Structure 1
Amino acid sequence: CHRSPLSSGTGAGPSTSTSGPPGAAWPLPPDMNSGVYSSPRDQPTSPPAPHETLGLGRGTFTYEELAAATGGFSQANLLGQGGFGYVHKGVLPSGRAVAVKQLKSGSGQGEREFQAEVDIIGRVHHRHLVSLVGHCIAGASRMLVYEFVPNKTLEFHLHGEGLPAMAWPTRLRIALGAAKGLAYLHEDCHPRIIHRDIKSANILLDNNFEAMVADFGLAKLTYDGITHVSTRVMGTFGYLAPEYASSGKLTEKSDVYSYGVMLVELLTGRRPIDATAHLVLEDGLVEWARPALSRALADGDYGAVADPRLQGSYDPVEMARVVASAAACVRHSAKKRPKMSQIVRALEGDMSLEDLNDGVRPGQSRLFGEEAGSYSSDMNRTKEVAVASPEYSGRFGRPSPVSSDRPNSEETSPVERQPPHL
């Protein structure tokens, strides 16, 4: 790691080694061991010049600085853990709160590859995306430092025990903010960024309940005209698009589907997977919701799909926009799903629902009930893949005990699998 220009003279204390933890000075995070720091090739290069640091004002941190900020990566500061790694809350010497995410080892990325990817992430700026503050390379370990978002996650506020029901205007604001952040990643970033793990646990909320999409920095990047087929398809069961199991391809339309699941979750107050179900292969939220959304749009009665805790307290015009947007996003055919910018316009009332659905009146079964047999078959294959995954824990769509009430956390383990032979 290099000395961060952000921390010069801030009282973090000088360190004699910047390549890793100094002996027994700090405990190692769970995924690190002291052996990785002994190789000469792990020794740091010269500190970067100020103009060479990450992004606009972003920089690199030493291991010692992040250890000091997180209290030695203490259990008390552990925000959560998931498929990508561990997240600790930290406080920089300036007083700024941050979330330090230590990525799991084994990615195979070299230092230059990692820094190149981080540079792309560091150039992403949007009010509905969690900002990257900096990074650290310590031997084989990679850490990302994000801004700390204080008001926990959408998952927590929707499903936390003993919490008041989230008001309709708040739900709509969160849906719109998340859509804007995702649209920016898909359509305004160069190269385009596909998130790959959109879910309620990755939507952080500030104190005004404005949505901020988290963990996009861990997504795969794709350039125009290139479809990426990953050797480790990532996602959370219940949010996975049906085409994942059959092709393994990652596109922005897979993100659109996952956003649609989250929108149904926000609309109904239900989890993507029923936590009380005894069989994982039972129908999930989307299988139930697709015909229900179609009926609601056809007859204008939203009682069956609206969260009963709302007690009918919602604007029916706004409700129609959300229902139509959700139904369009979770279509079986990826090609027929809208772009996220279209969803933004629909939620804001700047696009008619007929335009959102290619000129077809919302509720007509030709679009909303299309290919039901094929959809069910593909979803069953996706479920079987999830069950066969080495990371299967029987807790799909549920928060981990560590992070159920904490912000900036990874609350569900992703599903990983080998792609099919194409």
Structure 2
Amino acid sequence: MGDSITQDYASSPLDNDASSGKGNGYNSLEIASIASASAIVSVLIALVILFLYTRKLHPRSKIMSTTTKREVTMFIDIGVSITFDNVVTATRNFNASNLIGNGGFGATYKAVIISQEDQNVVVAIKRLSIGRFQGVQQFHAEIKTLGRLKHQNLVTLIGYHASETEMFLVYNYLPGGNLERFIRERSTRAVEWRVLHKIALDVARALAYLHDQCVPRVLHRDVKPSNILLDDDHNAYLSDFGLARLLGASETHATTGVAGTFGYVAPEYAMTCRVSDKADVYSYGVVLLELLSDKKVLDPSFVRYGNGFNIVQWGDMLLRQGRAKEFFTAGLWDVGPHDDLVEVLHLAVICTLDSLSTRPTMKQVVQRLKQLQPQLQTRVV
């Protein structure tokens, strides 16, 4: 009986439609077909509308993308608006006539930015070598960390621009040039021990800050005279800090000009590519030796001592032989306290020892230099 009821229930609609013979109704199959066709048409119309809408917006999106790419991110307010366009204008499209420095990370240009109130602000633009740095997104993240670093002896990072086709950093401009030029031109002026000591202490303080007070700590990896800038009062400022960590993963740190410059690179770093704060200490020691003497790190006069002889070996040799007087730049021995000069030479040599455990920390270097602080009036000996 149950089967009969089921059969009647299942067949009754079809029987009714078939027996009615009426043409003014639709069976379920026809209704389903119409519904499916309507849905397909609706989807097609929606896709066409979406396509046309997207195509219409595409030019606008391209403009917005270009604007974003040309954006300059600022860390501090210097009283004028710095944009991609006025940087290009102020450097004359990075013209050689505005060039004030050239290093392993890129070239630096002087740029005079003019505000709407006709007030001029001078900044330094470091144009980074495209292709040597990691991806743009990673660069954005890392450079913002560097923008938070503040110290009286660090060059101020004002802002930056980073895109696939252009990268540059905006720094405060320092009119005194770099230490490399200072050393090269100092024969034209009187030697002052007070000035040399101040430069040495300023740089040591900057490195001690990077090593001991930054979290995570920052290793410079390219400490050399051209990366130390001066103002008109011979205050020293360390530049290019933190840039070595932004290099692309494909770069090898053993090569010169990548993360370190031949002659200033610690021997263990050059051989193993393993960097530590003691590698910066070594580089600082080499800079200090150059600051005290008339010699370059790989001076031509060292040829007589054999291949590979450098300023580190020369300073150590003279100190051991009791001939320290011969090391110092012309006139310095006559105006500086002899004991203090020898002590600073000894400090520089210790900084460049092969043994990492024997090299001092930069904090210890600062403490020692402060103990050797010259008197305001330098006495002629």
Fold-level match, TM-score > 0.5? Answer: yes
Q: Please name the residue that 1:337 is paired with.
A: 359
Q: Does 1:289 align with 2:315?
A: yes
Q: Which amino acid aligns with 2:324?
A: Y
Within 5 A, what are the aligned runs for 1:309-320? 309-320=331-342
2:66 to 31, 43, 58: 43
Q: Does 1:55 align with 2:78?
A: no
SS at match of 2:94: coil
Structure 1: stretches of 5+ with no match in the other structure: 1-38, 222-227, 352-422
1:81 to 90, 98, 102: 102
How many Å apart are 1:186 and its aligned residue? 0.9
2:114 to 85, 93, 97: 93
Deviations 1:27-59 (A, max 9, x none): xxxxxxxxxxxx9996344999xxx95534489
Task: Give yes or no for contact 1:54–1:119 (8 Å, CA) kept in 2.
Answer: no
Task: Give yes or no for contact 1:256–1:340 (8 Å, CA) kept in 2.
Answer: yes
How many Å apart are 1:165 and its aligned residue? 4.4
Cα distance in structure 2, aligned partners of 1:324 and 1:121 = 33
Deviations 1:282-318 (A, max 9, x none): 411112112323444xxxx631222233252101342
Q: Does 1:263 align with 2:257?
A: no
Q: Judge which range, 195-204 or 136-145, deviates more.
A: 136-145
Change (3 A) 1:79 1:237: same
Task: Give yes or no for contact 2:177–2:230 (8 Å, CA) kept in 1.
Answer: yes
Within 5 A, what are the aligned runs for 1:221-260? 231-233=252-254, 234-260=259-285
Q: Which amino acid aligns with 1:268?
A: S
Q: Please name the residue that 1:355 is paired with.
A: none
Q: Which amino acid aligns with 2:230?
A: L
Task: Give yes or no for contact 2:302–2:309 (8 Å, CA) kept in 1.
Answer: no
- Give the TM-score normalised by the residue count of structure 1: 0.64
Q: Please name the residue that 1:215 is paired with.
A: 240
Task: Give yes or no for contact 2:318–2:326 (8 Å, CA) kept in 1.
Answer: yes
- Give the TM-score normalised by the residue count of structure 2: 0.71
Deviations 1:199-230 (A, max 9, x none): 11211111111111111141328xxxxxx997
Cα distance in structure 2, aligned partners of 1:289 and 1:131 = 34
Q: Please name the residue that 2:160 is paired with.
A: 135
Deviations 1:156-187 (A, max 9, x none): 12123852243111111100011001111111
Q: Please name the residue that 2:226 is paired with.
A: 201
Change (3 A) 1:311 1:46: closer
Task: Give yes or no for contact 1:150–1:205 (8 Å, CA) kept in 2.
Answer: yes
How many Å apart are 1:65 and its aligned residue? 2.0
Task: Give yes or no for contact 1:158–1:166 (8 Å, CA) kept in 2.
Answer: no
Deviations 1:325-368 (A, max 9, x none): 112101111222111010000011189xxxxxxxxxxxxxxxxx
Question: Which has the greater radius of gyration?
Answer: 2
Q: Judge which range, 138-147 or 338-347, deviates more.
A: 138-147
How many Å apart are 1:108 and its aligned residue? 4.8
Identical amino acids, percent of aligned pairs:
36
Cα distance in structure 1, aligned partners of 2:312 and 2:187 = 26
Cα distance in structure 1, aligned partners of 2:236 and 2:174 = 10
Query: Which structure carries more helix by proportion?
Result: 2
Deviations 1:120-161 (A, max 9, x none): 111111111111111112433210011111011221121238
1:104 to 107, 115, 129: 129
Task: Give yes or no for contact 2:211–2:219 (8 Å, CA) kept in 1.
Answer: yes
Structure 2: stretches of 5+ with no match in the other structure: 1-61, 374-381
Q: Does 1:119 align with 2:144?
A: yes
2:173 to 131, 148, 151: 148
1:307 to 310, 329, 338: 329
Within 5 A, what are the aligned runs for 1:152-163? 152-160=177-185, 163=188
Query: Which protein has greater RCO, CA pairs closer than 8 Å, 6+ apart?
Result: 1
Cα distance in structure 1, aligned partners of 2:159 and 2:300 = 37
